Structure 1
């Protein structure tokens, strides 16, 4: 079973040991359960609720057998069924965490490296331009 989370919410879980965000902007206490999905539903959930959010997202893979204080119920939602987690998700029940890109696909090590490299190159170019401007200004004095 899967759940899309903000990276910030997941980081909080690492400190507290339990995950309690139901969906974007809603807690377990407010919603009564944590929304989850099957793998084939993840992209649709991303497209409907998370696309354009502008926050770093991760995909949690949850092993229902490892849940300590929560029960999973598969419930009808429209013409489909979705797993809902009634209770907090303990850290040990999350068996994988994968960063998601802006289209909802899994980030790879290569794509993360390339993004980091692009940021570093952008900073290097900006520094070189700033130095060139200063040097030209000093030459004209």
Structure 2
């Protein structure tokens, strides 16, 4: 039985391309739908394992796509055996409208909220401000010592 919601890890660049073209056609990192014959997907409980096996060292910004299988139209989804488990495979391009949520993933594969992204950005900006203030204080000290 095909789940109502399936998930796919995508690079942010591939998702941006989908926003321009209207369809998503990457099977897995570095492989297209045309090359693979289907797009790899997973149930929610499988996402962490897929991330650990295939995406941990991607070196790119990643997002988690939530796909509503009812919105795929005539594109077939098959739940097929892979090892000791089964995974959903999408046998055609995924229309942008079938993707109902796009969530950034952290470097360890956890979903990020807008608040957590904002906090990380603030932490970076605060760190840069502290470095700049320390550099100015050091410069003022050096100038004061040499006079």
Give yes or no for TM over 0.5: yes
Q: Secondary structure at the match of 1:95?
A: strand
The alignment status of 1:52 with 2:66, answered yes or no, reads no
Choose which of 25, 29, 51 in structure 1 pairs with 2:30.
25
Distance 1:110 1:65 in 2: 30
Root-mean-square deviation (Å):
1.6
1:81 Cα deviation from its structure 2 partner? 0.9
1:111 Cα deviation from its structure 2 partner? 1.7
Structure 1 segments of 4 or more deviating over 6 A? none
> Structure 1: which 5+ residue stretches go unaligned?
none
TM-score (norm 1): 0.91
The answer to whether the Cα contact below 8 Å between 1:69 and 1:89 also exists between their aligned partners in 2 is: no
1:137 Cα deviation from its structure 2 partner? 4.5
TM-score (norm 2): 0.87
The alignment status of 1:126 with 2:145, answered yes or no, reads no
Choose which of 98, 108, 114 in structure 2 pairs with 1:93.
98
Instruction: State the partner residue of 2:3.
Output: none
Instruction: State the partner residue of 2:15.
Output: 10
* Corresponding pairs, count: 141
